[in-house]
Amino acid sequence: MTDNVIIAEGLVKRFGKVQAVNGVDLAVPAGTVLSVLGPNGAGKTTTVRMLTTLLRPDGGRAVVGGHDVAREPDAVRKIIGLSGQYAAVDEYLTGRENLDMFGRLYHLPARAARERAAELLARFRLTEAADRPAKTYSGGMRRRLDLAAALVIRPRILFLDEPTTGLDPRSRLGMWEVIRELVHEGTTLLLTTQYLEEADELADEIVIIDHGEVIAQGTSDRLKAQVGGERISFTVGSAAMIPKASSAVLAVTDATPEIDQETLTVSAPVAGGTRSLVAVVNALDAAGIEAHDLGLRRPTLDEVFLSLTGRRTEDEQEERD
């Protein structure tokens, strides 16, 4: 009927009184990347666990690779790979032993399991560390090992739950490269993340969920356009400069700037790209304000969120309260 290899229709999951997932619909065409974006507690992991047969839906249905997850869980497990938010690697085994174990788990013959382990270790730049216990690995190495474990059976459908949360920028770029390669080889990918930037880099389509519901979806460009495109932002030297800086920005952009008192950051949406940038610089200069880290940037997840829901992501709220 369609060539969607991951389909969810009205998926529901409750934990006691918590409505973790509340009627989620998803469709991922073969060979594409869907990113599920949302703040802590949005229901990302719960959705992934239902799609990967680890959790039984309370309502709705899901079909992965042509198999219903509730009725044919074994068939689904055979064709998917899952790299979870909480790594599945055994701390006390070496990297090589971990991968070997996954191979055996999937009934690869001993020799094939060994060969696949060596191949994946090389691919993920873990050969040197291969014979050290995983507990001695850095966070980035552990993530790479976890991803390698998900790839032991060469799945054509892959689920990655927050593959780069907690990684430093360099390791994150490395992970993106690996993911791009997989997609290039034809893997269909569902990826959860809290970072719009990551979805931006990797996804063909983005679904934003909050409180277990899909609140927006589309390409990255479409979502950003919905939020109002680029923003200018800069920091000032002291809190005393903020009112003057705000009115200078307001005069140019016609938008009340957003102020972060903690980092002394002023930001506002702009329509005119670099022209607006120059105008703001001139206005600040005329007002005698020295601005640092001044630049144009695209909206962040927080801003997409703020605009879609009228509130900040919960994390930030907690920090602010």
Ligand X SMILES: Nc1ncnc2c1ncn2[C@@H]1O[C@H](COP(=O)(O)OP(=O)(O)OP(=O)(O)O)[C@@H](O)[C@H]1O
Binding site for ligand X (CB under 6 A): 15, 18, 20, 38, 40-46, 85, 194
Rounded least distance, CB 210 to ligand X, Å: 9
Choose among ligand X, Mg ion, none what residue 35 binds, the Cβ cut-off being 5 to 8 Å by kind: none
Q: Which one of Mg ion, ligand X, none is in contact with 43 (Cβ closer than 5 to 8 A by kind)?
A: ligand X
Is residue 122 within 8 A of residue 148, CB to CB? The reply is no
d(CA 98, CA 134): 8
Of 47, 28, 34, 6, the residue nearest 202 (C-alpha): 34
**Closest separation in Å from C-beta 61 to ligand X:** 18
Q: Which stretch binds Mg ion (CB under 5 A): 12-20, 70-78, 84-92, 254-262?
A: 84-92
Regarding 45 and contact with Mg ion (CB under 5 A), the answer is yes
* Choice between 45 and 217, CB closer to Mg ion: 45
Contact segment (CB under 5 A) with Mg ion among 9-17, 28-36, 40-48, 170-178 equals 40-48
Three-point CA angle 188, 189, 190, nearest 5°: 135
**Are the C-beta atoms of residues 59 and 10 closer than 8 Å to each other?**
yes
Q: Which is nearer to ligand X, 43 or 65 (CB)?
A: 43
Rounded Cα gap, residues 212 and 115, in angstroms: 41
Least distance in Å: CB of 68 to ligand X? Answer: 21
Q: Which residue, 36 or 249, has its beta carbon nearer to ligand X?
A: 36
Identity of the residue, 165 or 226, whose beta carbon is nearer to ligand X in the bound complex = 165
18 binds, among Mg ion, ligand X, none (CB under 5 to 8 A by kind): ligand X
How far from 320 is each of 228, 263, 264, CA to CA, in Å?
A: 24, 13, 14
Q: Smallest gap, in angstroms, from Cβ of residue 74 to Mg ion?
A: 25
| CA–CA gap between residue 90 and residue 99 (Å, rounded) | 10
Distance CA 18, CA 42 (A): 11
State the nearest-atom distance from the C-beta of 44 to Mg ion, in Å: 5
Structure-token match 């600040």, residue found: 284
Report what 299 binds from Mg ion, ligand X, none; CB cut-off 5-8 Å by kind: none
In the bound complex, what is the minimum distance in angstroms from residue 212's beta carbon to ligand X?
A: 7
CA-based end-to-end distance of the chain: 50
Cβ pair 133, 148 in contact under 8 A: no
Question: What's the min distance (Å) between Cβ of 206 and ligand X?
Answer: 15
**Any contact of residue 46 with Mg ion (CB under 5 A)?**
no
Contact flag: residue 98 with Mg ion (CB under 5 A): no
Q: Does 165 bind Mg ion (CB under 5 A)?
A: no
d(CA 197, CA 23): 26
If the CB atoms of residues 34 and 259 are measured against ligand X, the closer one turns out to be: 34
- 167: amino acid identity, one letter: L
Q: Which of 40, 31, 36 is nearest to 52 (CA)?
A: 36
Q: Is 52 in the site for Mg ion (CB under 5 A)?
A: no
Residues in the chain: 321
Report the interface residues with Mg ion, using CB under 5 A: 44-45, 85
